[in-house]
């Protein structure tokens, strides 16, 4: 793919917010088929969190084209009051985050990390991570709390991913939260992640070499994510996710070097 002028920015106009919603629908609705038919009328994926004044939308552009997006939800007093929570993030609908709090910690919840398929082997992913990092630092965030897509609605496959993550040393040694039983999960899974051969190997205790879904693997390798709970069922997308925490001070040095290089390239081009 020919390299144009890459840059990231915080969406501030109606056009930019619309671009973010369209990219999200293209990935979650058009590509993965995870959204209802109703959302196909506008081909935009939006929730009430998107309109909060504490929510930030990051967009990555290749030239003039918006190709990737994600959102950063900051703590919101109204959300905390409505949920009876202590942090004020959407994840408190499903998890008690109070056990994670330490003096001096400032949480944010990144989500809707989406890159259009034709740009996934480009610099778009790194630009999106760089924007997510820079904007979070600017707003005083110390930790991200999120949940990574496990690409399955099978409880068995989701639990196996959790076991493989543990075998790679990616469980958090410091933080742990309990998840509710996945009562809303479908009785019969539609999407399996592991093959019968992989499941057979796992039953023999042979976890080395088994795959980890793309999202948790990406955030563990490039951002230092550590996983804090067993798989959590997401009723909105009807898939399992894996809750995680990322300390911004513990992001791998090589990733930070890439982010700074991108920022320097923007400054040089200005």
CATH number at residue 24: 3.40.630.30
**Contact in structure between 100 and 54 (CB atoms under 8 Å):** no
Task: Give residue 188's pLDDT.
Answer: 83
**Contact in structure between 248 and 141 (CB atoms under 8 Å):** yes
Mean pLDDT, residues 64-81 taken together: 97
Residue 57 belongs to a domain: yes
| CA 265/CA 270 separation, integer angstroms | 9
**Contact in structure between 111 and 215 (CB atoms under 8 Å):** no
Q: Which two tokens stand for residue 27?
A: 């990935």
Mean pLDDT, residues 83-87 taken together: 92
pTM, full prediction: 0.92
What percentage of the chain exceeds 70 in pLDDT?
96
Task: Give residue 180's pLDDT.
Answer: 82
Residue 235 belongs to a domain: yes
Task: Give residue 19's pLDDT.
Answer: 98
Largest CA distance in the chain: 57
Note down the domain range covering 163: 6-269
Residue 39 has pLDDT above 80, yes or no: no
Mean pLDDT, residues 28-52 taken together: 89
Residue 101 belongs to a domain: yes
Residue 234 belongs to a domain: yes
Residue pLDDT, tens place only, 173-194: 999 999 887 666 777 888 999 9
Residue 191 belongs to a domain: yes
Residue 133 belongs to a domain: yes
Mean of all residue pLDDT scores within the chain: 93
- State the total domains in the chain: 1
Residue 171 belongs to a domain: yes
Residue 1 belongs to a domain: no
């Amino acid at each position: 793919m020919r390299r144009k002028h890459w840059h990231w920015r915080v969406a501030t106009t109606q056009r930019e917010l619309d671009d973010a919603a369209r990219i999200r629908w293209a990935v979650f609705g058009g590509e993965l088929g995870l959204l209802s038919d109703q959302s196909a009328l506008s081909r935009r994926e939006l929730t009430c969190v998107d309109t909060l004044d504490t929510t930030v939308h990051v967009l990555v552009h290749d030239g003039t084209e918006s190709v990737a997006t994600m959102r950063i939800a900051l703590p919101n007093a109204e959300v905390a009051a409505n949920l009876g929570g202590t942090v004020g993030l959407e994840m408190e609908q499903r998890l008690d985050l109070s056990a994670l709090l330490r003096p001096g910690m400032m949480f944010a919840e990144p989500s809707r990390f989406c890159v259009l398929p034709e740009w996934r082997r480009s610099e778009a992913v790194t630009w999106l991570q760089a924007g997510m990092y820079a904007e979070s630092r600017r707003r005083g965030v110390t930790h991200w709390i999120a949940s990574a897509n496990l690409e399955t609605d099978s409880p068995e496959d989701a639990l196996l991913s959790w076991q493989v993550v543990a075998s790679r040393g990616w469980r958090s040694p410091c933080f742990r939260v309990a998840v509710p039983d996945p009562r809303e999960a479908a009785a019969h899974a539609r999407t399996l992640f592991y093959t019968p051969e992989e499941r057979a190997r796992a039953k023999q205790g042979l976890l080395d070499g088994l795959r980890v879904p793309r999202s948790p693997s990406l955030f563990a390798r490039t951002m230092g994510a550590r996983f804090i709970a067993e798989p959590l069922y997401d009723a909105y997308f009807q898939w399992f996710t894996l809750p995680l925490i990322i300390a911004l001070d513990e992001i791998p040095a090589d990733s930070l070097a890439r982010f700074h290089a991108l920022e320097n390239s923007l400054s040089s081009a200005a």
